[in-house]
Structure 1
Amino acid sequence: MGNRLVPVILLVLLGIVHAQLWFGRGSLPNVTQMQQKLDAQRLQNAQAQQANDRLAAEVRDLKEGLEMVEEKARMELGMVKPNEIYVQIAR
Structure 2
Amino acid sequence: MKRPATATLLLAVMVLALLMLQARLWFGEGSLRHVAGLRQQLAALEAENARLAERNRLIAADVQDLKDGLDKIEEIARRDLGLVREGETFYLVLDRDAAP
TM-score using structure 2 length: 0.86
Structure 1: how far apart are the matches of 2:33 and 2:93? 55
Structure 2: how far apart are the matches of 1:21 and 1:77? 62
Q: 1:83 aligns to what?
A: 87
Pick from 44, 59, 66 the counterpart of residue 63 of structure 2. 59
Q: 2:12 aligns to what?
A: 8
Q: Where do 4+ consecutive residues of structure 1 move more than 3 Å?
A: 88-91
Rate the CA distance shift 1:90–1:33 in 2: closer, same or farther, 3 A. farther
Structure 2: how far apart are the matches of 1:82 and 1:60? 28
CA RMSD in angstroms, aligned pairs only:
1.3
Give how far 1:86 is off. Answer: 1.6
Give how far 1:24 is off. Answer: 1.8
Higher Cα radius of gyration: 2
Is the aligned partner of 1:40 residue 2:44?
yes
Pick from 54, 68, 72 the counterpart of residue 68 of structure 1. 72
Q: Counterpart amino acid of 2:53? A: Q
- SS state at 1:16 partner: helix
**Which ranges of structure 2 fall in alignment gaps of 5 or more residues?**
96-100
Q: Which has the higher contact order (CA 8 A, sep 6+)?
A: 1
Structure 1: how far apart are the matches of 2:64 and 2:6? 79
TM-score using structure 1 length: 0.94
Identity %, equivalent residues: 36
